[in-house]
């Protein structure tokens, strides 16, 4: 089974546990040699061999070259005298050590006495020293008594400071945070492989594998940035609020641990798929905390690792339908009980597909929100380098290094919703390719571009028509939003501290239901956002076409049908958005609120900015409700993200905004605005 990489020398503090991956070479494998002198070794370099530490004098002051005249009389000041000469108040020469006086007396010539500053004692410095002596707990290490012991002290520091998961938070809280990640974040970002990760966590590979520790820190940082109220509740329940006064402090601590675990010599070792996962999670954390520049750099680093490892290529052992080439039963397009004759680690293979499509969806989402394709983009597929197939639709429990087991009947895989969401963003690849080649809203061939946009909209609608029943938006659930659970403080994932709930108990059903609702909200937001994006591209190109031909839009009879269709699509999008906002619950929106709420707020703002001439009857009728939702979503977008507010202030702000959202949902359900009386949006709802 593939393993997280073995640690560097400074991490080896105990006998390593058996690894569950074999992906990284072992510690005995040859590594790229470091340049000579990069880490000087006093035992092998004669120039560094000196006298023993207790007899090593401090560095001598540089001599000032003597010149003719009076300058010969003013020689540079001598260095510090040795201990013997200092006690006897005699002059110490510079021939040593040992000096001539100590040689004559046959005594050791040492330099261990501390230096004394001239003048009266510094009261401030003395008070600080006294505080350090009175409170030794403030520092885990004693201060060296003399400069000669500094090297030994630094060496002891390096041996005592072992970077581990304890640097993030206490172990009981950390286990709960890991459970929350796999419950709330994993449905949208299905990496890493859960059983393998939990096995490594049980064997405490954070003590032996820097990559595993960096991965864990990145996961917790991403969870905190996306769902900050959840970690805050755990710290509060354990009486550890002082360790995380706000979400920003925990995120910064996770980022620091991840960077230190990876180390500065990141490019001097082999990469694995987990390095790409770490880079993506770090980039997503920076997006949620409004750090645009480092986020773009991390995403580009993730793409570089993916392409370097060849994860962006279609593998040889699998067909385009996501099924292994071997014969076997087919389930959701996947042939079950498939072997891997080539000896490839199937877990690593599937993780490579997943992280590629996770990054693909993230890049397309950012482009819909205004990021230029020239700033962040994934190259289009070609015949020689096509995109990899979508991941196999089986849960992690049925994915092993050598086999892909059959998904049980009646249990929909988490990867089904993930693949549907990815297909939504691939539905307009031709439009995206034109934008990358010519620029956004650049008119090249109006008729061809118009057909491509219309075809892309049809692709999205066909995907929605093929949704499995558990992922279809339930329009009859509007009555449930009047009194939803206010605080998702108890979840099936945290019911057991030993690990994931068993598959045959109610814990799995509750967790799977929560994950499906999270995926359902994400799919709806993705399809509404994609349709809005395509409609806006159509009207932007249409205006450019009419401006180029110096003709008014109403005189272009050839485009009347398309314009009317796009106007009806705008009304349909408005109806779909209000349907979603009136049914979604806080427990399903908040865990990924930093991304979903930003997406929904951008969609609502775009629909409101459309000129009235392009709005249908439904859109005009629902404009006031849409404006109210846009205002609430704008305020929620600021509260769901990580902040510097204290727990009490943050709780008050969040509770107020979520209460307003529920009131608006109840009012919208009671008003019956979305009755579809004019029939504009009925075809696509």
Question: What are the pLDDT digits (tens) for 613-648?
Answer: 777 777 777 788 888 888 888 888 776 666 555 556
DSSP 568-613: HHHHHHHHHHHHHHHH--HHHHGGGHHHHHHHHHHHHHHHHTS-GG
CB of 211 closer than 8 Å to CB of 274: yes
For residue 139 the two structure tokens come to 């520092």
pLDDT at position 593, please?
A: 78
* Main-chain phi, psi angles of 536, to 5 degrees: -65, -40
pLDDT at position 355, please?
A: 97
* Alpha carbon distance, N-terminus to C-terminus of the chain: 46
Whole-number Å distance between alpha carbons of 20 and 220: 22
User: Which of the pair, 177 or 60, is modelled with greater confidence?
Assistant: 177
CB of 385 closer than 8 Å to CB of 312: yes
Instruction: Give the DSSP letter of residue 182.
Output: I
pLDDT at position 477, please?
A: 55
Whole-number Å distance between alpha carbons of 277 and 356: 9
Provide the residue ranges of all domains of the chain, joining segments of one domain with +. 126-160, 163-265+273-309+330-409, 427-685
pTM beyond 0.85: no
Whole-number Å distance between alpha carbons of 20 and 4: 8
* Main-chain phi, psi angles of 22, to 5 degrees: -125, 40
Question: Which residues make Cβ contacts (< 8 Å) with residue 119, sequence separation at least 6?
Answer: none
User: For residue 93, what pLDDT band results from cuts at 50, 70 and 90?
Assistant: confident
Whole-number Å distance between alpha carbons of 676 and 680: 7
CB of 333 closer than 8 Å to CB of 397: no
User: For residue 80, what pLDDT band results from cuts at 50, 70 and 90?
Assistant: confident
Of the listed ranges 217-226, 247-256, 530-539, 668-677, the least confidently predicted one is 668-677
Whole-number Å distance between alpha carbons of 311 and 389: 11
Whole-number Å distance between alpha carbons of 207 and 647: 31
Question: What are the pLDDT digits (tens) for 426-481?
Answer: 999 999 999 888 888 889 999 999 999 999 999 999 999 989 999 988 765 555 55
Question: Which residues make Cβ contacts (< 8 Å) with residue 332, sequence separation at least 6?
Answer: 393, 407, 413, 416
Whole-number Å distance between alpha carbons of 172 and 177: 9
The residue with tokens 């510079």 is 94
Question: What are the pLDDT digits (tens) for 518-543?
Answer: 999 999 999 999 999 999 999 999 98
For residue 330, what is the enclosing H or E element?
A: strand 330-331
Whole-number Å distance between alpha carbons of 410 and 468: 12
Instruction: Give the DSSP letter of residue 657.
Output: H
CB of 650 closer than 8 Å to CB of 639: yes
For residue 620, what is the enclosing H or E element?
A: helix 617-621
For residue 625, what is the enclosing H or E element?
A: helix 623-640
Asked if residue 485 has pLDDT above 90, the reply is no
Question: What are the pLDDT digits (tens) for 338-388?
Answer: 445 456 789 999 999 999 999 999 999 999 988 888 889 998 888 888 899
CB of 80 closer than 8 Å to CB of 117: no
CB atoms near residue 239 (< 10 Å): 8
CB atoms near residue 568 (< 10 Å): 20
pLDDT at position 128, please?
A: 76
DSSP 406-423: PPPTT---HHHHHHHHHH
Chain-wide mean pLDDT for the chain?
Answer: 75
Return the closest-CA partner of residue 594 out of 542, 637, 630: 637
Residues paired with 338 in a beta bridge: 404
Asked if residue 272 has pLDDT above 80, the reply is yes
Region of residue 39 (phi > 0: left; psi between -120 and 50: alpha; otherwise: beta): beta
Instruction: Give the DSSP letter of residue 181.
Output: I
For residue 684 the two structure tokens come to 């696509």
Residues paired with 330 in a beta bridge: 335
């Amino acid at each position: 089974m593939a393993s997280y990489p073995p640690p560097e020398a400074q991490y080896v503090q105990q006998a390593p546990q058996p690894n569950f991956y074999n992906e990284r070479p072992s510690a005995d494998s040859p590594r790229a040699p470091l340049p000579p002198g990069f880490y000087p070794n006093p035992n092998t370099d004669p120039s560094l061999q000196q006298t023993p530490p207790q007899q090593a004098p401090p560095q001598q002051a540089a001599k000032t070259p003597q010149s003719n005249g009076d300058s010969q009389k003013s020689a540079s000041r001598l260095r510090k005298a040795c201990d013997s000469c200092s006690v006897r108040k005699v002059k110490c020469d510079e021939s040593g050590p040992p000096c001539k006086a100590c040689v004559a007396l046959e005594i050791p010539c040492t330099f261990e006495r501390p230096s004394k500053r001239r003048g009266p004692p510094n009261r401030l410095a003395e008070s600080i020293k006294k505080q350090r002596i009175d409170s030794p707990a403030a520092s885990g290490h004693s201060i060296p008594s003399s400069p000669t012991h500094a090297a030994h002290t630094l060496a002891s520091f390096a041996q005592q400071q072992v970077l581990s998961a304890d640097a993030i938070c206490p172990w009981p809280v950390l286990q709960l945070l890991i459970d929350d990640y796999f419950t709330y974040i994993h449905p949208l970002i299905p990496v890493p492989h859960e059983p393998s990760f939990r096995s490594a966590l049980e064997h405490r590979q954070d003590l032996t594998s820097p990559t595993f520790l960096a991965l864990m820190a990145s996961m917790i940082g991403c969870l905190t940035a996306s769902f900050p109220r959840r970690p805050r509740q755990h710290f509060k329940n354990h009486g550890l609020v002082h360790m995380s006064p706000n979400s920003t402090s925990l995120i910064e601590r996770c980022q620091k641990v991840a960077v230190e675990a990876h180390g500065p010599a990141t490019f001097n070792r082999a990469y694995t798929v987990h390095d790409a996962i770490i880079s993506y999670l770090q980039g997503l954390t920076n997006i949620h905390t409004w750090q645009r520049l480092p986020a773009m750099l991390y995403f580009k680093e993730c793409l570089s690792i993916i392409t370097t490892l060849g994860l962006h290529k279609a593998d040889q052992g699998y067909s385009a339908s996501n099924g292994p080439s071997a014969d076997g039963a087919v389930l959701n397009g996947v042939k079950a009980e498939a072997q891997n004759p080539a000896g490839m680690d199937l877990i690593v293979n599937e993780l490579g597909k997943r992280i590629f499509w996770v990054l693909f969806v993230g890049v397309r989402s950012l482009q819909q929100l205004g990021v230029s394709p020239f700033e962040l983009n994934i190259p289009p597929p070609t015949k020689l380098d096509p995109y990899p197939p979508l991941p196999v639709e089986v849960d992690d429990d049925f994915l092993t290094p050598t086999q892909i087991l059959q998904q049980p009947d009646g249990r929909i895989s988490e990867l089904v919703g993930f693949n549907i969401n990815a297909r939504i963003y691939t539905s307009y690849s031709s439009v995206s390719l034109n934008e990358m080649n010519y620029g956004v809203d650049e008119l090249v061939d109006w008729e061809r571009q118009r057909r491509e946009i219309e075809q892309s909209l049809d692709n999205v609608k066909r995907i929605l028509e093929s949704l499995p029943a558990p992922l279809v938006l339930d329009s009859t659930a509007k009555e449930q939003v009047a009194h939803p659970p206010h605080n998702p403080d108890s979840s099936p994932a945290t019911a057991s501290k030993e690990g994931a709930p068993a598959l045959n108990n109610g814990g799995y059903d509750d967790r799977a239901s929560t994950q499906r609702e999270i995926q359902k909200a994400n799919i709806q937001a993705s399809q509404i956002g994609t349709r809005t994006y395509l409609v806006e591209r159509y009207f932007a190109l249409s205006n450019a076409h009419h401006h180029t031909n110096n003709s008014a839009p109403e005189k272009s009879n050839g485009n009347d049908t398309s314009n009317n269709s796009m106007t009806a699509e705008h009304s349909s999008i408005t109806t779909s958005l209000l349907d979603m906002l009136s049914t979604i619950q806080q427990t399903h929106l908040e865990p990924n609120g930093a991304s979903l709420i930003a997406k929904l707020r951008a969609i609502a703002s775009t629909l409101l900015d459309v000129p009235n001439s392009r709005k249908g009857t439904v859109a005009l009728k629902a404009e006031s409700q849409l404006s109210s939702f846009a205002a609430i979503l704008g305020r929620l977008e600021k509260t769901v993200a990580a902040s510097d507010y204290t727990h009490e202030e943050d709780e008050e702000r969040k509770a107020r905004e979520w209460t307003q959202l529920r009131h608006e949902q109840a009012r919208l359900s009671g008003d019956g605005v979305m009755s579809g009386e004019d029939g504009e949006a009925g075809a696509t709802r």
